[in-house]
Amino acid sequence: MSEDAPEAELEEISRKLFSGRITFLKSAPSLQFLPAADAHEVAFAGRSNVGKSSLLNALTNRRDLARTSNTPGRTQELNFFDVGEPLRFRLVDMPGYGFAKAPKDVARKWRYLVNDYLRGRQALKRALVLVDSRHGLKDIDREVMKMLDDAAVSYHLVLTKADKIKASDLQSVKKSTTLEASKRPAAHPEVIVTSSETGLGIDRLRRAVVEAIG
């Protein structure tokens, strides 16, 4: 589906897709366990505790598609979810990065898995880089953005937890994030503001996924 398609058409297509069949396919602790690259993929990346699992659940309108936990860094593998019947595309829940309390060897393993997947997966159509709106972009986010830029992998910056911050502060964070995105060769110019609690931006995020898969 082209990004030039009418917004109403995209809205309807995305609504139907995300209210239809979505199933867990498999977890991949290393690249050798990746599924066949027989469908387009959209990957969710972000720091630990950025709200990635909650956003995935809100996006798919399911309570427990992606595991949520009070312990950041619980997701240690690439988790693949099939969308559509017949299969239209896959969502990929990636290990959170930057969790300070993780053992160094474990954190290094996660980092290599994320980096190798993002740089070498031909089926990957777009990455969604999630950023906690309360904290804005961190250096570790910029490292991932640079890696995506270098690999020419298109990505969207997505602000999460927008309900946890004052409106004026949110606008400031969005402005600075948008400015930074404009300087990145592989970044989509639009920064999507979301809240898994209130549903803010979820419809827009669904359309962005549908636009990305083509």
Long-range contacts of 200-205 (CB under 8 A, 24+ apart): 200/162, 200/163, 201/158, 201/162, 202/58, 202/59, 203/11, 203/14, 203/15, 205/55, 205/59, 205/128, 205/158
Q: Are 161 and 201 in contact (CB under 8 A)?
A: no
Range of the domain at 99: 7-213
**pTM listed for this prediction:** 0.89
Lookup result for tokens 């988790």:
79
How many contiguous H segments (helices) and E segments (strands) does the chain have?
A: 6, 7
Q: 103: part of which helix (H) or strand (E)?
A: none
- In this prediction, residues 92-98 reach a mean pLDDT of 83
Angle between helices 104-120 and 139-151 (to 10 degrees): 30
Which residue type, as a one-letter code, is found at position 173? V
Whether residue 2 is contained in a domain is answered as no
For residue 29, pLDDT over 90 is answered with no
The string of pLDDT tens digits covering residues 193-214 is 999 999 999 999 999 999 999 8
- In this prediction, residues 82-96 reach a mean pLDDT of 92
- Range from 14-28, 60-74, 104-118, 148-162 carrying the lowest mean pLDDT: 60-74
- Range from 25-34, 64-73, 172-181 carrying the lowest mean pLDDT: 64-73
Whether residue 83 is contained in a domain is answered as yes
Whether residue 1 is contained in a domain is answered as no
Q: How many domains are contained in the chain?
A: 1
Q: Residue 199: which CATH number?
A: 3.40.50.300
Torsion angles phi and psi, residue 24, rounded to 5: -70, 130
Sort strands 78-83 and 89-93 into parallel, antiparallel or unpaired.
Answer: antiparallel
- Range from 29-38, 74-83, 158-167 carrying the lowest mean pLDDT: 74-83
